[in-house]
Amino acid sequence: MVSYTGQVATIHAQFQKALKRAKSRQAVLNAYWKHKAQHERLLKQHLKEEMDQVNRIKSKIKYR
């Protein structure tokens, strides 16, 4: 499993490549929107994993 930071670095590298390749204003915008969607998916997944971890630990602690 690749770390969250590693995945972010990968999508940023792809984004930078797409920006350098872009020949039009629309291509730049398309690269941004694709990058934004990737970022949002990745963040949503990451936060879900963290919440699952919190809930696992929380369930082991006795409720007062």
Q: What is the pLDDT of residue 1?
A: 62
Angle, alpha carbons 59-61-64 (nearest 5°) = 110
| Mean pLDDT, the chain, integer | 95
What are 3-19's pLDDT values in tens digits?
999 999 999 999 999 99
Contact 6, 46 (CB under 8 A): no
In this predicted structure, the answer to whether residue 51 has a pLDDT above a threshold of 80 is yes
Q: How many domains does the chain have?
A: 1
* pTM, rounded to two decimals: 0.81
Domain enclosing residue 21, as ranges: 4-60
